[in-house]
Structure formats: C-alpha cells, structure tokens
Amino acid sequence: MNRILSISDVNFYRSHHYLHAKQVIPQHLLDLGRSIISRWVDELINEWAEKGLIDDKLPDLDFQHRLVTLWNAAGRPKYMRSPRRDIVGPDMYSFLANPRLLDLAADLLGTDELSAHGIFNCRLKLPDQKWTDTPWHQDAQYYRDAENVHVVSIWIPLQKVTEHNSCLQVGPDLFTDTLLSGHDDEETGFLGLSKEDAGRLRPISVEMDPGDALCFTQLLPHRALPNRSDAVRWSMDIRYEATPNATLSGKAQGFVARSPIAPDSVEKYHQWERKWGNIPRGSY
C-alpha cells in the first residue's frame, strides 16, 4: 500500500466520516476528467445544433463558459444533469483505475483489495439552475445495500470551488451511523433527507482548490450549494469499496480494480464495458 494520507488524516475520517484531502489529485488526472467531460459536452452541443437551437458551436470558447453560453443561447433546454452511461469508455476506466485514486481509497478503506463502485457521476452545475442543486442526502439512499458496508465517495472538483460557485457542504456528527429513509426533493426530484432531518444539521462548507478531494462515507449527509457564478462548476464523484464485501449495487457496473492477493481477478476495460452492454445511452 502506497500511503497518501497521514495517520491523523485517516483518524479524522474515521471519526467524522469525511476528509478534505488537499492536493492529492495529480494534474494529469484533472486533465483526464476535463477530457471525459468535454467529449460529452461536445455531444450535447452537437445535439442542440442539430435541433436548430444554436447556430454557432463556439468551439474556441473556454471550458468554464462555453456550455453555459450555448445553453442560454439555446433557450436553456433540459439536459442530463449527471451523465453516467454516456461517459463510459476507456478514459473513464483509466480514471477509475488510476493508481493514485486507488492508493487514496486504500488508505480510507484499510485494504488493497479494491473494487471501483459502478455508481459514479460527472456533475455540471450551471448558474441559475435550481434543478441541479443536490439537496441534503446520504449516498447510500441511492444504493441501500450499502447501509452496513463502507463505501467511500471521492468528490473531485475540476476548478476552485467556494460557497459562491457551488462547493459542497457536509453535515457530520448526525446520522452518520444511520441510513435514513429517502425523501423526494420537490424542487429537484433528487432523493434526500426530510426537511426536518436536514434542519438538524450544522453545515460545514468545504471550499477546495484543484487537486483537492473531498472523501466521505456512504452515510455522511452532504449537499451542493447553488452556483451563483457566471461559469459552470465541474466535478467528478467516484466510489470504492473493499472487494471481499462489495455490494451488489457496486458490482453490477463496477469492477475489481486492485488485488495483490489475486491479481488475475482485476478486471480489464473490455470486461467492464460488457457490463454496460444492455444499458442504453442517455441512462443515468
């Protein structure tokens, strides 16, 4: 195991169920994340152009502003707020199987027998758009077989994030040992905490720089603040679990990513890709 975190970092995570890990994500991985997202953005923009919603695709506009500028020009059409199936490919596999991320997950899970969880997200938060504001929730509300299984989420912003442009807030010290019933948020349709339970939390805003990662357990309440800037807020969130007790929801579209004990069990890209064969593009 190549240790990324200090013992005090791991102890903080175990006590509070989250950790702001600073400067643990290398630049080449951030670049890969941007490449994955940019390819999907190009597909979305091409779709708008084919529908006649825009005339100019603005290919030279910067990463932060191109999508929001064209979204406004197209009349603010609805789009997939968290693409998953559409970003499955060799680059996404390389992202999930990145040794640095596996080292980070190993520190937090306490094992090198690691599986990449099949639920991951590319998040694009455009300004002035309520339906992409994720309310207070626990990740395990989306995969309830992880109620008693440690699944670590790693949230990676691709630019500086603050309270102004939609950093995450965490609500430690409440509900971190209890999986609450999921409530549908009326404004966004996302699953989350009831208003009563959310009102008991003491939010902590986690402002981050590129290269930072926010790591948290499947039971930690968290949410994303609104994006009040004029640019898109981009992020990737991925998950890992220990292979010996991996959940069915994690294994369904996940893969064994590291195994010193049984190296032949590590799944290659073509094996992972087959798990998505019956899932159509456009699926969440």
Nearest CA to 95 among 116, 74, 119, 125? 116
Residue type, 107: D
- Do 245 and 41 meet the contact criterion of CB atoms below 8 Å apart? no
pLDDT at 2: 77
Q: What is the pLDDT of residue 1?
A: 63
- Encoded tokens for 269: 């890209």
pTM of the model: 0.96
- In the chain, the domains with their CATH numbers are 7-27+82-274 (2.60.120.620)
- Contact assessment for residue 86 and residue 282, using Cβ atoms and an 8 Å cutoff: yes
Q: How many whole angstroms from its chain centre is CA 67?
A: 19
Give CA separation, 271 vs 117, 121, 251, 257, 268, in Å: 14, 20, 12, 12, 5
Report residue 235 as tokens: 């992020």
Q: What is the pLDDT along the chain (284 residues), one digit of tens a residue?
A: 678 999 999 999 999 999 999 999 999 999 999 999 999 999 999 999 999 999 999 999 998 999 999 999 999 998 887 889 999 999 999 999 999 999 999 999 999 999 999 999 998 899 988 877 889 999 999 999 999 999 999 999 999 999 999 999 999 989 999 999 988 877 777 888 999 999 999 999 999 999 999 999 999 999 999 999 999 999 999 999 999 999 999 999 999 999 999 999 999 999 999 999 999 887 77
